[in-house]
């Protein structure tokens, strides 16, 4: 009997954790919003209604096809077409690839550099901490969009420059949040004991301190992803990010701007995608913060 009870405990813990996740409204709402975008993006790798870059001047500025005509119309364009006849739904789906590609690249690199700097700053302290944090404060004081525009002006337009610029914008966010938590963990008794017994400092940082700040890093990454998507869309809207013929939600908004009063659907769809992405990551980040008990300030 005792053996059966022991076996049942892990399943009860899993069920309790699952119920906790399902009851967290912020996490579930954010997760569902993001799943819409993720599924749409994954499908776009294999299929889109039309070629996203194919011009069809005979189908210019077609309004979205009504649902009742989907089965009877010859050319069905669920989201309509743009001013050169390209299918907007196809371009929106493909744009998700760029958004997630840039978001994952920027957040991943910013996490590696930011967390490493935070570990060194908080654990060693002294002039190392002062130097790293002063550089972090200097980068943080520059408006993110202005810094990204400056980078694009110096190194040229394009996806590569966009990734580098956004990565540098996000590094201070990871550094500040991770450092604040490492400072607290550094004072715990078991960390003090590792110093007394002469354990290698790098081993202490990456094997004993880092695992204890993972919850904060995960929440910060979720919030940083929304900033990356929004900044990429802003740069592409200004013509400094993703370059034609590649599609981006920001560039689609730019192309629709002049025709917004007559053909508002051209701007509504890409604008909706940016809103869903930013809202989804922010709301899910709040939910993760509640689930992991990790306090993360969006202003940091």
**Of 213, 216, 283, nearest in space to 24 by CA:** 283
The pLDDT score that the predictor gives to residue 111 is 94
Pick the residue with more confidence: 168 or 153? 168
Q: How many CA atoms lie within 13 A of 275 on its CB side?
A: 7
- pLDDT tens digits for range 244-296: 888 899 999 998 988 888 889 899 999 999 999 999 999 998 888 888 875 55
d(CA 49, CA 72): 16
Q: How many CB atoms lie within 10 A of CB 194?
A: 16
How much is the mean pLDDT over the chain? 85
Does residue 5 carry a pLDDT above 60? Answer: no
Q: How many CA atoms lie within 13 A of 209 on its CB side?
A: 34
Ordered DSSP codes for 137-166: HHHHTS-HHHHHHHHHHHH-SSHHHHHHHH
- For tokens 């969009």, name the residue: 145
d(CA 121, CA 130): 8
Tokens representing 100? 């997630």
pTM (two decimals): 0.85
Tell me the CATH number for domain 26-44+81-292: 1.10.3720.10
The pLDDT score that the predictor gives to residue 2 is 45
Tokens representing 90? 């196809």
The pLDDT score that the predictor gives to residue 299 is 43
Does residue 93 carry a pLDDT above 80? Answer: yes
The pLDDT score that the predictor gives to residue 1 is 43
SS3 80: coil
The pLDDT score that the predictor gives to residue 41 is 94
Pick the residue with more confidence: 160 or 192? 160
SS3 205: helix
Dihedral (Cα; 86, 87, 89, 91), 10-degree rounding:
-30
Residue 233 pLDDT class (50, 70, 90 cuts)? very high
């Amino acid at each position: 009997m005792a053996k059966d009870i022991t076996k049942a405990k892990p399943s009860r813990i899993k069920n309790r954790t699952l119920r906790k996740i399902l009851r967290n409204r912020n996490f579930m709402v954010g997760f569902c919003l993001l799943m819409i975008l993720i599924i749409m993006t994954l499908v776009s790798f294999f299929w889109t209604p039309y070629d996203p870059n194919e011009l069809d001047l005979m189908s210019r500025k077609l309004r979205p096809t009504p649902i009742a005509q989907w089965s009877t119309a010859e050319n069905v364009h669920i989201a309509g077409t743009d001013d050169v006849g390209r299918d907007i739904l196809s371009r929106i789906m493909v744009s998700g690839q760029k958004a997630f590609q840039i978001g994952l690249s920027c957040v991943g690199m910013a996490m590696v550099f930011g967390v490493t700097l935070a570990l060194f700053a908080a654990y060693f302290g002294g002039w190392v901490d002062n130097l790293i944090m002063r550089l972090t404060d200097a980068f943080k004081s520059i408006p993110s969009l202005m810094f990204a525009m400056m980078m694009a002006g110096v190194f040229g337009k394009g996806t590569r420059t966009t990734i580098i610029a956004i990565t540098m914008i996000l590094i201070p966010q990871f550094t500040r949040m991770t450092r604040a938590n490492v400072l607290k963990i550094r004072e715990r008794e078991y960390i003090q004991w590792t110093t007394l017994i002469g354990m290698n400092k790098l081993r202490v940082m990456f094997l004993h301190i880092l695992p204890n700040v993972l919850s904060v890093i995960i929440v910060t990454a979720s919030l940083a992803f929304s900033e990356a998507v929004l900044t990429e869309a802003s740069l592409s809207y200004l013509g400094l990010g993703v370059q034609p013929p590649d599609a981006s939600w920001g560039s689609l908004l730019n192309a629709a701007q002049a025709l917004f009063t007559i053909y508002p659907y051209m701007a509504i769809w890409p604008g909706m995608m940016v809103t869903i992405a930013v809202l989804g990551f922010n709301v899910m980040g709040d939910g993760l913060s509640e689930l992991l008990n990790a306090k993360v300030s969006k202003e940091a």
